Amino acid sequence: MATPDEVGAKEMGRDTGSGSISRDEELGEVALMKNNQLKKSLKNRHLQMIAMGGAIGAGLFIGSGKALSAGGPAGVLICYTLIGVMMLFTCQALAELSVVYPSNGAFFEHCLRFLDPTWGFAIGWGYALTWLIILPFELIAASITIQYWNEDISMGVWVTVFLVTLACIQIFGVRGYGEVECVLSIIKVIACSGFIILGIVINCGAVGDQGYLGGRYWSDPGAFRGGFDGFASVFVIASFSFGGTELAGLAAAESERPEKSVPKACKQVFWRIAFFYILNLFILGLILRSDDPRLLGSNGGNSKASPFTLAIEDAGIKVLPHLMNGVITIAVISVANSSTFGFTRTVQAMAQVGMAPKYLARIDKQGRPMRCTVVLILFALLAYIGLAPNDAGMKLFDWLLAVTGVTYFFIWGSICLAHIRFRKAMKVQGLSLDLIPYKPSSGVWGSWVALIFNGLCLVAAFYVCTKPPKPDSTSAETAESFFQGYLAAPVMLLLWLVWKVRTGNWRLQTPLQEIDLMTDAKFINPADVQHESQEKMSLPKRIWETLFNPSNILS
């Protein structure tokens, strides 16, 4: 496999043989790219909290209301558990790849290496566009949550406040991102833990005048709602709620010791899924009716329709709904902060290999991709179109978000497929798996399970998008609903096709024999592997090997 600089020169038509640029100019560009090193400032605690609470956001605190209304408490519990298992296996695969190849592009560069450069181009730009569009949307969402307390102040004021705050955080580089996410994640973790305790108290009838609830709402209105259509809808909603889980792998290149911190961080995904998603949603289904008409407002991202807030209000507690709204605001800001990290690191990595403007590859002396940050902040100014009358601006955002709709399924599936092909390439090229510093217990079969689940998510999303939004919908409304929900799929295929035409390389994947496993790889030294395996032996076995092994005696 060629180096990133060679790939960039080839893909952008900058080969010296073509005479398009001088040799000195090319050497200058290559030297510039080689000096573009991100600062390794993330400590173990940063990655732990990013993995633990980084992706807990509006998808859980608000989106779960739509899921509860669509599929009932049992449907929510089953679907979130299934998607949680899928994400657990995906993160384990990403951890193995990120430890061996800790690059700032993470899964983008893994796709370049193990799948195909063209598919890597599609994945990289699909992921970058997702965060690029999510940032202004999250700024609007954060401003809407503020209106829970005061609707008199214009939303534009809060958009400005949040945008300036995010811009200031970027001045401190990756350390600033890590510290902010660490603090915000702690707040979200405490809030989720507190809600579980409060939910148990409410269910037992110790608060409010509802009395003992037990499993009443699982019987009336029922454990499931909406039949198969409702279950499929919850399946899709649950999938989107886990967006951002992959950020721990993306941060590997800026971690002080990725071989230690990344596996630990990805292992935290299990506890986050089990405790903060599954247990919280189980408690929620016990204390809030799934047929509550107020839940329908959660579709618009309104924090007043958050099922967590509604459950607390129904218990007659006056202060806690305000605290929960504050947590929701923090969660939305956290996602906006993560979007700056996800976009800037991905685009900077793409620029290094010639798949984005080379101007964006520049890293300043403090190790910050500030040029990418400026582009992102400028695009975030689109948040002000939320002030347009008659919701005209939000209609535009609906179509922008459609570009990112099912992109995560392609990204997560590609991570799993890259892991599968990495293991196959190791076998074909005769390399021992003992060279890999971290191997997840799920092995390669976990990646196969997650890959299949991602395919099922795409099918479920397609099924949901083809269903009329209302029983009396017109064909035009049905078509609009479909494209707003599934537009990301043809966009991904278009990105793939554009780069195929651009490069003229029409093979679907890189042959296993041609995959470069050694460049920039952080394999374990074979001598260290042997020493480590001897340390793991029992004491009698080590004595036997030392005294009576024929090779030791002859030597």
> Are 67 and 83 contacting, i.e. CB atoms less than 8 angstroms apart?
no
pLDDT, tens only, 315-339: 888 888 888 888 888 888 888 888 8
In the chain, how many domains are there? 3
Which letter, b or e, does each residue of 154-182 get, where b requires 16 or more Cβ atoms within 10 Å of its Cβ? ebeebbbebbeebeebbeebbbbbbbbbb
Pick the closest to residue 55 from 337, 326, 457 (CA basis): 337
CB atoms within 10 A of CB 34: 12
Q: What is the mean pLDDT of the chain?
A: 78
Give the pLDDT of residue 449: 93
Query: For 387-412, what is each residue's pLDDT tens digit?
Result: 777 666 667 767 777 777 788 899 99
Decide: 477 and 470 in contact? Cβ < 8 Å: yes
Nearest to 52 by CA among 257, 225, 244: 244
- Residue 530: is it exposed, middle or buried by C-beta count within 10 angstroms (0-12/13-18/19+)? exposed
Calculate the alpha carbon distances from 533 to 528, 542, 553 in Å: 8, 10, 20
Residues 143 and 282 in one domain: yes
- Its domain, for residue 532, covers 527-555
Nearest to residue 96, comparing CAs of 523, 527, 532, 531?
523
Looking at the structure, tell me whether residues 131 and 53 fall in a common domain.
yes
Per-residue model confidence as pLDDT tens digits over 144-181? 888 778 778 888 888 899 889 888 888 877 777 778 88
11 confidence band (pLDDT: 50, 70, 90) = very low
* Closest C-alpha to 102, from 525, 527, 523, 526: 523
Q: What is the mean pLDDT of residues 215-229?
A: 87
Grade residue 256 by pLDDT with cuts at 50, 70 and 90: low
Same domain, residue pair 8 and 18? yes
351 and 487 share a domain? Answer: yes
Residue 42, strand partner residues: 255
Q: What is the mean pLDDT of residues 492-515?
A: 88
What pLDDT does residue 44 have?
A: 66
19 phi/psi in degrees, rounded to 5: 75, 10
Q: 275: domain CATH number?
A: 1.20.1740.10
What are the Cα distances from residue 96, in Å, to 330, 444, 456? 31, 11, 24
How confident is the model over 461-476, as a mean pLDDT? 72
Amino acid identity for residue 83 in this structure: I
Name the residue type at position 349: A
Tell me, yes or no, whether 87 and 182 share the same domain. Answer: yes
Instruction: Give the mean pLDDT of 122-138.
Output: 88
For residue 423, pLDDT beyond 90: yes
Q: What is the pTM of this model?
A: 0.82
Residue-level pLDDT at 212: 86
Residue 412 CA to residue 154 CA, distance in Å, equals 38
d(CA 51, CA 61): 18
51 with 24, same domain: the answer is: no
Q: Is the pLDDT of residue 466 over 80?
A: yes
* pLDDT value of residue 295: 82
Distance, CA of 181 to CA of 56 (rounded, Å): 11
Residues 6+ apart with CB under 8 A from 24: none
Please enumerate in sequence order all residues whose Cβ is within 8 A of that of 280, keeping only pairs 6 or more positions apart, or say none.
Answer: 60, 192, 195, 196, 199
pLDDT of residue 551: 43
Q: Read out DSSP for 26-54? A: HHHHHHHHHT------B-HHHHHHHHHHT
pLDDT tens-digit profile of 29-40? 344 344 555 666
Q: Mark whether 514 and 538 lie in a shared domain.
A: no
Based on the fold, state whether residues 44 and 18 are members of the same structural domain.
no
- Residue 468's alpha-carbon distances to 75, 308, 325, 479, 489, in angstroms, are 21, 29, 33, 9, 19
Instruction: Give long-range contacts, CB 8 A cutoff, 24+ apart: 158-163.
Output: 159/383, 159/384, 159/386, 162/333, 162/336, 163/139, 163/377, 163/380, 163/381, 163/383
pLDDT, position 553: 39
List residues bridging with 255 in a β-sheet: 42
Length of the chain counted residue by residue:
555
Beta carbons within 8 Å of 74's beta carbon, 6+ residues apart: 218, 223, 224, 285
Same domain for 156 and 17: no
Q: For residue 418, name the pLDDT band (cuts at 50, 70, 90).
A: very high
pLDDT tens profile 53-112: 666 777 788 878 888 888 899 999 998 888 888 888 998 898 888 888 877 777 888 899
- Based on the fold, state whether residues 147 and 46 are members of the same structural domain: yes
**Do both 31 and 106 map to the same domain?**
no
Do residues 438 and 536 share a domain? no
Element (H, E) at 266: helix 258-271
